[in-house]
Structure 1
Amino acid sequence: MQHHLTPSRIALAVCLSLSATAQAAEDVQKTEDPSLEVIEVTARRTSENLQSVPVAVTSLSAEQMSQRGVEDLADVQWYSPNTTLQVSRGTNSTLTAYIRGIGQQDPLWGFEPGVGIYIDDIYIARPQGAVMDILDVQRIEVLRGPQGTLYGRNTIGGAVKYVTKKLHGDPELYVQGTLGSYNQRDFKIAGQMPLSDTFWAGFAYGTFNRDGFGEFKNTGADNYDKDIQAGRLSLAWYPSDDLSFSFMADRTWDDSNAKGGYRLTPSLVTGQQPYGNVFDSDTSMPTDNSVETGGEALTITYNINNDWTFKSITAHRDGDTDTNIDFDSTSQPALDIPALYDDKQFTQEFQLNFDNGNWQAVGGLYYLDGEACGVFETVLGLQGLTVENGGCVDTKSLAAYAQASFPLAKDLSMTLGGRYTRDEKDADVYRYVYLGIRYPHDQPTTPFAVQSDFADSATFNRFSPRVGLEYQLSDDIMAYGSYTNGFKSGGFDMRANKSVNPDADAPYDPEIVDTYELGFKAEWFNHRLRTNVAAFYSDYDDMQITVQRAVNNNTDVASQVLNAGKADIKGLELEATLAATDALQIIANAGYVDAEFKRVDYFDPNLGQVTDVSDLWSFANTPDWTGSLLAQYNLEAFGGDMVVSGGVNYRSKTQIFEVPSMLDFGSVTLWNASIAWYKDNWEVQLTGRNLTDKEYRLAGYNFAAVRDSNGNVTGPGLGGEDTIVGYYGDPRTVSLSVGYRF
Structure 2
Amino acid sequence: MSRVLLLAGAAPAALLAVSVPAFAADAPVADADQTTSVGTGQSDSDTILVTARRRQETAQDVPLAISVVGGDHIDSTGSFNVGRLQQLTPTLQFYSSNPRNTSVNIRGIGAPLGLTNDGIEQGVGIYVDDVYFARVASSTFDFLDVAQIEVLRGPQGTLYGKNTTAGAINITTRQPTFDFEGRAEVSVGNLGFKQAKAAVSGPLSDKLAARLALSTTHRDGTITNVANGQKVNEQDNLGLRGQLLFQPNDKASFTLAGDFSRQDPSCCVQVYVRTGSTQRSLDRQYAALAAAQGYAVPSTNAFDRLTDVDVPLAAKNKIGGVSLRAKIDTDIGTFTSITAWRFWDWNPSNDRDFLGLPITTKSNNPSKQDQYTQEFRLTGETGRLGYVLGAFGFYQKVRTNGIQQQGPAASAWLIRPSDPLSKNPAVLNGLTATNDISLKNTSAALFGQFTYKVTDAFSIQPGFRVNYDKKVGDYNSVVTNGAGQLVVFKTAAQGGNTSIEKAQLAVLAPQAFNVKFSDWNFSYDVTASYDLSSDIHAYATYAKTFKSGGVNLNGVPADTAGVPLLVAATVKPESVNHYEAGIKTQFWDRKATLNLSIFRTDIGNYQAQVTNGSLGVLRGYLANAEKVRTQGVEVDFSARPSERFNVYGNGAYTDAKYRKFVDAPCPPELSGGTTVAAGQTAGAAGVPGGLSPESCDISGQRLPGVSKWSFSYGAEANAPVSLLGKDGLVYVGFDGNYRSAFSSNPSPSAYTQVDGYALSNFRLGFRTDAGFDIYGWVRNAFDVQYYEQLAVASGNTGLIVGQPGDPRTWGFTVKTTF
CA distance in 1, matches of 2:810, 2:71: 20
Deviation at 1:112, TM superposition (A): 2.4
Render the CA deviation track for 1:244-276: whole Å, top value 9, x for unaligned: 101121111000112121112476252225354
RMSD: 2.3
Matched, 1:464 2:523: yes
Partners in 2 of 1:265 and 1:44 — Cα distance?
Answer: 48
Give the residue type in structure 2 aligned to 1:453: A
1:703 to 783, 787, 793: 793
Of 445, 456, 466, the match for 1:399: 445
- What are the within-5 Å matches in structure 2 for residues 323-722 of structure 1? 323-335=348-360, 336-356=362-382, 358-381=384-407, 382-383=410-411, 384=428, 385-436=431-482, 446-448=486-488, 451-500=510-559, 502-503=565-566, 506-551=569-614, 556-557=617-618, 559-602=620-663, 606=675, 613-615=697-699, 617-637=701-721, 638=723, 639-661=727-749, 662-679=751-768, 680-703=770-793, 717=797, 722=798
2:59 to 50, 54, 58: 50
| Comparing 475-484 and 210-219, the one that deviates more | 210-219
Moved more, 447-456 or 408-417: 447-456
Kept in 2: contact 1:152–1:419 (CA 8 A): no
CA contact (8 A) 1:82 1:625 kept: no
Q: Specify the SS of the correspondent of 2:159.
A: helix
Q: Decide whether the 8 Å contact of 1:431 with 1:451 is kept in 2.
A: yes
Deviation at 1:595, TM superposition (A): 1.4
CA distance in 2, matches of 1:364, 1:511: 23
Instruction: Note closer, same or farther for the CA distance 1:607–1:394 as it changes in structure 2 (3 Å cut).
Output: farther
Q: AA paired with 1:358?
A: R
The counterpart of 2:126, out of the listed 92, 107, 117, is 117
C-alpha distance in 2 between matches for 1:505 and 1:667 = 36
Counterpart CA distance in 2 for 1:734 and 1:377 is: 40
Match of 1:21 in 2: none
Are the structure 2 counterparts of residues 85 and 288 from structure 1 closer, same or farther at C-alpha, using a change threshold of 3 Å? closer
C-alpha deviation, 1:113, in angstroms: 1.9
Amino acid at match of 1:549: N
Aligned residue pair count? 684
Partner SS state of residue 158, structure 2: helix
Q: Which residue of 2 aligns with 1:714?
A: none
Residue 35 of structure 1 deviates from its aligned partner by 8.2
Query: How far 1:321 moved relative to its partner?
Result: 0.5
Q: Could you say which residue in structure 2 is the equivalent of 1:311? A: 336
Q: Deviations over 1:171-204 (max 9, x none)?
A: 1222211110101111111111210001011111
1:725 to 759, 777, 801: 801
SS at match of 2:191: helix
**Is the 1:378–1:388 contact (alpha carbons within 8 Å) kept by the matching residues of 2?**
yes
Contact 1:243/1:303 (8 A) holds in 2 = yes
The runs of 4+ residues in structure 1 deviating greater than 6 Å are: none
Question: Any idea what the Cα deviations from partners look like across 1:10-52, whole Å, max 9, x if unmatched?
Answer: xxxxxxxxxxxxxxxxxxxxxxxx9873011111111110000
Q: Which moved more, 1:620-629 or 1:575-584?
A: 575-584
- Take 2:817 and 2:655, find their aligned partners in 1: how far apart are those partners? 47
The whole-number CA distance in structure 1 between the counterparts of 2:765 and 2:572 is 51
Comparing 645-654 and 503-512, the one that deviates more: 503-512
TM-score by length of 1: 0.88
Q: Check whether the contact 1:513–1:540 (CA below 8 A) recurs between aligned residues.
A: yes
Structure 1 contact 425–491 (Cα < 8 Å) conserved: yes
The alpha-carbon distance between structure 1 residues 610 and 95, as it changes in their structure 2 partners (threshold 3 A), is closer
1:224 to 2:308 alignment:
no
Q: 2:173 aligns with which of 164, 171, 194?
A: 164
Deviation at 1:446, TM superposition (A): 4.3
User: Could you tell me whether the CA contact under 8 Å between 1:389 and 1:495 is conserved in 2?
Assistant: no
Q: 1:602 to 1:182 in 2, by over 3 A?
A: same
The more displaced of 570-579 and 381-390 is 381-390
Alignment correspondent of 1:281: 307
Deviates more, 1:52-61 or 1:631-640: 631-640
Of 176, 191, 198, 1:182 maps to 191
Partner of 2:317 in structure 1? 291
TM-score by length of 2: 0.80
Question: Is the CA contact 1:216–1:223 (under 8 Å) kept in the aligned structure 2?
Answer: yes
Matching residue's letter, 1:122: V
Counterpart CA distance in 2 for 1:345 and 1:738 is: 38
Q: Given that residues 311 and 351 in structure 2 are in contact (C-alpha distance below 8 angstroms), is that contact kept between their aligned partners in structure 1?
A: yes
1:291 Cα deviation from its structure 2 partner: 0.5
Q: Is the contact made by 2:403 and 2:434 (CA closer than 8 Å) also made in structure 1? A: yes
Distance 2:174 2:649 in 1: 26
1:540 Cα deviation from its structure 2 partner: 1.1
* CA distance 1:398–1:607, shift in 2 (3 Å): farther
Deviation (angstroms), 1:462: 0.9
Equivalent residue, structure 2, for 1:142: 151
Cα distance 1:95–1:265, how it changes in 2: closer, same or farther (>3 A)?
closer
In structure 2, give the amino acid aligned to 1:724: I
Q: Which amino acid aligns with 2:705?
A: N
Percent of aligned pairs with the same amino acid: 27
| 1:179/1:736 contact within 8 Å kept | yes
The 1-side partners of 2:75 and 2:782 are apart by 20
Q: CA deviation at 1:92?
A: 5.5
* C-alpha displacement of 1:511: 1.0
- Per the alignment, residue 104 of structure 2 pairs with 97
Structure number with larger C-alpha Rg:
2
Once the two structures are superposed, the pairs formed by residues 263-282 of structure 1 within 5 Å of their partners are: 263-265=272-274, 268=290, 269=293, 270-272=295-297, 274-276=299-301, 277-282=303-308
Structure 1 gaps, min length 5: 1-33, 438-443, 707-716
Q: CA deviation at 1:576?
A: 0.6
- Kindly state the Cα deviation for residue 130 of structure 1 after the two structures are TM-superposed: 2.0
